[in-house]
Structure 1
Amino acid sequence: MKITFQHRQDLVHDPQRPADVFKTFPRFFNVKGLVNQDFLLLFGAETASKLLEKWDTSFKPKVIKETKHLTQSTDLCRLLKAAEKLTENDENDWDSDMASLLLLVHLLPPTAGRKRRTKISPSEAVDKMVHFHKSCCSIDEHLQEREGKQPSILAVGRTQSRIDTFYIAVDKQDIPCQATSSLSAFDELFKSHYVLNLSYDESLVHFYSFVQITIFNIDVTLTKESPCVRELRAKILNDSNV
């Protein structure tokens, strides 16, 4: 797979043949870690490790702190408690890392875009980033019901707080994650956009742009920042711990 890396990149960047990458390289569906490997070949080890190295110590506490300044909806309160590990083992809550990532979606909510004239809520945008799937239910059925080609996390387990397996759901197919934690699964999800040359979901453009520029430091000068991303980025980077 390392030897054929450049051929894969040529396929995903060919506007006539982007879907051919899965037909040519079906190993994506039965070998874990290929997304991580290709991202590493694209950007190198230092960039590839940034999220996993820095989220817990540098970004997560600041995201929690900034979220407390928002109007506290029911969904937001639940996520805050889960992120700070204040819930009493509620089976319907995400773990601390996933909850803190979803807080970032609330800090950078979606706006109306070219394809969608009406603005959707942060909670609706969250559903486009991660979906919990009960392990006793059919994954194929869920994949066929998905709309759009942008990737998302499919977290499979008995309860939301106890996930057994993570997948990247993309174009009605599921790529098994190498990850065994929610933070690592999101790391793979973000990287899949570059490995497969996929655009960000319109509802999550601000969220992903912040992760791209502020955490991974990818194409910082080439990416147009929205005012909300620029403002939050300034607050986060002014923290001496980052």
Structure 2
Amino acid sequence: MLLKMKYQSTKKYIRLQSGFTFLEFINEVKNKFGLHDAAELHIFDETDTSVEEDILLELIEANPDLCLTIRDSISDEDVSPLDNSTPSSLSDTLSVNSSDNDITNRIEWGIPTGRLTSSPAARNQSTTEVSESEASKKMVENALLSKPGGEDVLEEYKSENTLMHHTQRQLVNILASHMTEMHGRIPSSKQKEKYALGIITLFPSLKDPFSPKGYEHFYDGEKGTGYLAWRLKTMSRKTHQRPDSCIYPAQGPNRQRSAATMPQQLDGDACREAISFLVHSPDEASVFKKMKITFQHRQDLVHDSQGTTDIFKTFPRFLDVKRLLNQDFLLLFGAETASKMLEKWDTAFKPKVIEEAKHLTWSTELRRLLKAAEKLAENDWDSDMASLLLLLHLLPPTAGRRRIKISSSDAVDKNWNSLISYLY
């Protein structure tokens, strides 16, 4: 296996056997570049990311064309002649002949330069980058320690020196949650970058060696992508509520109305006794009175999905005593609104309902209701109620999962329960 290496400004190929060890790699590099056996070497990839011993072989196998950079550490003793034993004339010569490029190269490779020190601006920039990385690292570590499951992430990395795929997902979820708690539902791009930097600083093996900053897979500020960005978008979509959900109240059967005029109501045994009396009482005045004081019980039945179908079983007097429905409307909406219930029915709607009903498939029940609506025959219903029942024949049955054909009378029964709920 041939591997490209760089030491200072010199590039060379070294030859390695398959399955080589880290020690064999170091010895071959020293022999190729003529380095001292005691020299301590440090390895960096093309993005200037430090390559540790445990991932060297895996990195080379993944990218055989990679050019690795070698830097060695020179002790103070190696440069002491420049300070002490070098004659003044030689020192002057070195000072004159040393170019800016020499200084730059020494700073770039991290070699101590004795009197040839870097500028204060360069030192400040390096210190700032280190301090930002450490601050981000501490922030991510504190976030993990404060959240359930965070310690498990730290323990797994400590034992495995890496994180499994599901653990990385857990890491992202924890940090996204912490980010929204600290910086709101939509954190700034700078905040996301801090968390991404903290991740690769705390977990170096998660750094991407093929990206400029190493954390773009967690968050890329230029593209707005990355695991953190995607998780935040998912959280925002789940927690976002439609603004109109709290503007418009529930309508139809589910709408809770407060009665305009409410007399004293019965409950418990007294209510059950009044209902039992209603069934058998021949006195209409008493029926109206008992229906008025059991009004709240009917309201409860109307708004109970299971109890709506039992209204006519519990209160059968609706079927033979006229104006009971009007009385409930009067209690629920007040006199002014209740008086408008059938205000336009006779002139605007009733004739149209009768005309449309004549085009339906005729049945005994339909013919009977038409005659009552047109006042051509006596019936259990008066003209207005008969026309309302004709309207039920015109309405389609309520939708369900299974489409089953039903008769008109069955459809009326279903629609009647729906109509009662809407009227209330």
TM-score (norm 1): 0.37
| Structure in which a larger fraction of residues adopt strand | 1
TM-score (norm 2): 0.23
| Structure in which a larger fraction of residues adopt helix | 2
Larger radius of gyration: 2
